[in-house]
Amino acid sequence: MPTSTSPAAPGTPTALLHRLVPLRRFEVASQLAVLLAATLGLGMPLPLPVMLSAIGVLPLANLVLRRQLRSLAGRDAAAGEKLVLAQLAVDVAVLAVLLYCAGGSANPFVSMLLVPLTLVAASLSAPYVAAMAALTLGAYSLLMVVYHPLPTPRLDLSPLDALFAPAEGSEHVHSGFGLHVVGMWFNFVASATVVGIFVTRLARALREREQALAEAREQALRHEHLIGIATLAAGSAHKLGTPLSTLAVTLHELRRERPDDAELQDELALLEDQVGRCKTILKEIAAAAEPARTPLPVADWLAALADEWQVIRPRARLVCDLSGAGTAPVAPERALENALLNLLDNAADATPEGGEPLRFTGRIDGDRLILSIADRGPGPGALGQRLGAPVASSKRDGLGIGYFLANAAVERLGGQVSLVPRDDGPGTLTRIDLPLIRLGPGPATPDTP
């Protein structure tokens, strides 16, 4: 059911149509209240059957509008503008009938004809504004010459006339002048309420829309930054292939020439392992665009990721608790795995050597995968507030983009990375919140701003 809060962009015909439903409810309630006050309170003999029938058209128009809103999705803006004009024309016609039965243009509520024009002017293009202006002006002009005189109240209103007399000598004031002034006051209150509510909500929606656009622009800039880094990484991977091959051949030759030096052999073996690891990383960069791999249960995937990291960092100590990770099948892209490996690297770098081991936990919370990495470093500091932007590294030899890239990879899948101080002492708790549906089998698709 449409409500005053609509997902449509503010200031558009669709947004106005959604807001017209509750505005009409207020309109019907206020018209019935004024009609009851005039007939029961003041004793004015008004043509109730005609006026109530006219008011009854508005709920029917709301029912039609709600059906039309369901079929409006996907249609062009011109269709929405035509529908707005047609719906508000019904409101103008109903108000014109009510005014026709109660004094025409002399009725103090005649300025309510400006409310539909105000709504159109705030949302539609100039031709439709001109059409609504012509319609309201035509109705007002017609009511100046064609109308039923406003009936005389049965109550004695001479004290009210004397109270609002424009000058001394209230005996010269025509009967009903005070009632007209009071009616104008009520009309002003009703008009101010309708226009104030609509303009306030429109302004709030515009502010929210502007904030959403600003966030989308900021995300687009981050994506451009990532594209630049990815392009540079691809070029660097291509250039590094030759020197790594040369280094691998040289190390092999050194091992062959010095077979008796056990200590040197160990050091050269370690260097060969590291060169092999560099080649593997370059292959992963080249294979980043390949389809997703065979799905694995969440716990098995995280355990394999932890084992891979231990191969990279054999001297680092890692304690895993993946009992709550579940068995849902996932096939995440390699970029996410690299992001998690990078976060583990940063946590290990922050932890003093020989200190407490890192704690890597994973659990399922509804449709979310919650991962956490706890270290005993100095704490997040200012980095926790600047995680979404490139920052200067807190490490002596750091490049300053590791956290930025990790956060970007997680955000691309609809997740979030947060850095907070640990509750049980010094250190940082890195929390990664990911939607399971974006980790499922098949290639992940990025969010659309």
User: What pLDDT score does 245 carry?
Assistant: 78
d(CA 65, CA 62): 5
11-20, 52-61, 345-354, 372-381, range with the lowest pLDDT? 11-20
What does the alpha-carbon distance between residue 317 and residue 125 come to, in Å, rounded to a whole number? 66
Read off the tokens for 50: 């005609």
* 71-122 confidence digits (pLDDT tens): 776 566 677 888 989 999 999 999 999 999 988 888 878 888 888 888 888 7
pLDDT for the residue 351: 86
Q: Does the pLDDT of residue 132 top 70, yes or no? A: yes
**What's the CA gap between 157 and 163, in Å, rounded?**
10
Nearest residue to 411 (alpha-carbon basis) of 394, 381, 387: 387
Is the pLDDT at 449 greater than 60? The verdict is no
Q: Taking Cα atoms as reference points, which of 357, 338, 348, 346 lies closest to residue 384? A: 346
CA–CA distance, 166 with 204 (Å, rounded to integer): 41
Phi and psi of 418, rounded to 5°? -135, 145
CA angle 276, 403, 352 (to 5 degrees): 75
- Name the more confident of 350 and 448: 350
Q: Which residue has the higher pLDDT, 316 or 285?
A: 316
Comparing 118-127, 132-141, 279-288, the range with the smallest average pLDDT is: 279-288
Q: Any idea of the CA torsion for 326, 327, 331, 334, to the nearest 10 degrees?
A: 40
Q: Tell me the C-alpha distance between 406 and 277, whole Å.
A: 20
Helix, strand or coil, per DSSP, at residue 320: strand
- Nearest to 409, CA basis, from 214, 218, 230: 230
The pLDDT score that the predictor gives to residue 102 is 87
pLDDT digits over 256-268, tens only? Answer: 888 888 888 888 8
**If you average pLDDT over every residue of the chain, what do you get?**
77
Greater pLDDT, 255 or 187: 255
**Structure confidence at residue 207 (pLDDT):** 77
How far the first Cα of the chain sits from its last, in Å, is 26
Render pLDDT for 422-438 as a digit per residue (tens, 0 to 9).
Answer: 888 888 899 999 998 88
Lowest model confidence (mean pLDDT) among 14-28, 229-243, 423-437: 229-243
What local confidence, expressed as pLDDT, does residue 391 receive?
Answer: 47
- Mean pLDDT is lowest, of 31-45, 152-166, 275-289, 327-341, for 152-166
Could you tell me how far CA 63 lies from the centroid of its own chain?
Answer: 29
HEC per residue, 282-342 = HHHHHCCCCCCCCCEEHHHHHHHHHHHHHHHCCCCCEEEEEEECCCCEECCCHHHHHHHHH
Percentage of the chain beyond pLDDT 70 is 73
- State percent of the chain over pLDDT 90: 20
More confident position, 276 or 393: 276
**Per-residue pLDDT, 3:** 37
- Phi/psi of residue 143, nearest 5 degrees: -70, -15
